[in-house]
Chain A
Amino acid sequence: MTAPDSTILIDDVPVPFKPGQTILEAALEAGVFIPHLCFHPELGAHGSCRLCNVIVNGRNISACTMKAASGQEIEVDTWLGESAQAYRRTLVQMLFVEGNHFCPSCEKSGNCQLQALGYDSEMMTPHFVEFYPHRPVDASHPDVLLDLNRCILCELCVRASRDMDGKSVFALAGRGMASHIIVNSPSGKLGDTNFSATDKAAHVCPVGAILIKRVGFAKPIGQRRYDLEPISEEATPRREVEEAK
């Protein structure tokens, strides 16, 4: 029951898949990189970031939600003859200008998926007018910092806390431009919840919005995850980010 019984074509290369896998899961398992932010192997698909958009038999779909099926012809790097990189770059640019993503003094730099996808899509400038929003920082928890300047609304923390930790510490509130993460306590502060630094939700954030405190810049430049290899070379599905201690 473990042998794959079919293949899909990704940029003209046959890729095996198991029944029930999505295109993204099959691709990552085969070492084929499709950019993504809101997908996590243990939490499944969300379909919100749109970075994994591909063309399947001529139609735009998110690779994380579409189940792989025999006969699919999938375009990842070129869409209908055009380079797809510029479209992905635009998505990354929009994410950058919406928050306050100041890489130079952010401890997630070098370990950050958003930054790594910026490099991967050769984003040289955020291009759009910067929002410079005023976003809260919640340091009330003794061990975990919540810095919403960097939140990209992927809801990995919401899903992990609900489905894996059984705690439902985080939720998304508001609509449209006003959407934001909120904390499940009467005060709205993380320190007033039963959140713990050992929760799965404390380790799934792809950017620097949820951080274990007092780790900072312990990992030297040159030894950070994306110093060692670019995100596109990651052969296995996204590993849990290890917080250095």
Chain B
Amino acid sequence: MLYRENGQFKSTYRADLQMLPILQDRVFIGVLVVLAFFAVPFLASDYLFLSMIIPFLILTLAAIGLNLLVGYCGQISIGHAAFMAVGAYAAYNLVLRVPWLNFLAVLVLAGFIAAATGMLFGIPSLRIKGLYLAVATLAAQFFTDWLFARVKWFTDYAHSGSVSPAPVELFGWRIDAPVEKYLFLLGVLVVFTVIAKNLTRGHLGRAWMATRDMDVAAEVIGIRPVYAKLTAFAVSSFYCGVAGALWGFVHLGSWEPLAFNLNLSLNLLFMIIIGGMGSILGAYYGAAFIVVLPILLNQVPQWLGVPLSTATASHLEFMIFGALIVLFLILEPRGLARLWAIGKEKLRLWPFPH
């Protein structure tokens, strides 16, 4: 009932090709975006912004990036935090050495530098596939870990290897209050989500998906694997580079190479696996699951008034979180986005299933 598209006729190609073809989706997403921009800033507390919403937004952006590569193009990478690190340090050096540059330009340039690095580390994908490629992408992780910890130039010869740039300024707008950070990040995320969604619907996304589904067949119908795979690596690393710069500048404020370690790479991968591979929406679900859930779980005993020791509470957090991951993967191996899609299917007929 609720999701029936009966009566919504498409009379032009344009209408048929739009991003959200069903009216209900358009209304829903529209309301959500309006709420996110105008209601959330008044409702959420600073704590909520700083500890959950801001990391959620930035990691969603990174997860979208990784999803373009893994979910859409089928090239597994377990070193994507490396490209976030490249983005963060590129942005730091740009701000340091070219101080008059606008931060938006810094973001885009940092993205391009990360994209170039991503293409470089994507070259092995032309020869090796699957798990072998995954292992090869680890090289990116270890290389950047080494690079930013050892080559002092990148950290401006800081004593302890930790860098701390000034708060972001955009056309005289100093972004340092939690709400300002939120609005800025939300704006960036909306723009990048729309771009990603459209990329996957265009010829590039089709080339990626063809390569993912069967690379030999894709080659036969005229898709160049070099082109498809390297663009996927480039776009994906671009997204992660931008996310990395935001992670450093907006979320952490000061960071060390450890902030972009293997753990973060794996977390990104878990996000898209749990959220749903090959789905932009899945990146949102996955990021929410990985970022927000552990923090909530950690505080549940206290809200309930159960006097648990700190150690027990955090052991419980790990156990329940692990169990939930296993549970979701058993119930729906294709991710939370798939659950959502099933829900929509059901709503088409509900409440009259016949």
The answer on A and B forming one complex is: no
Footprint of B on A, CB under 8 Å? Answer: none
Footprint of A on B, CB under 8 Å? Answer: none
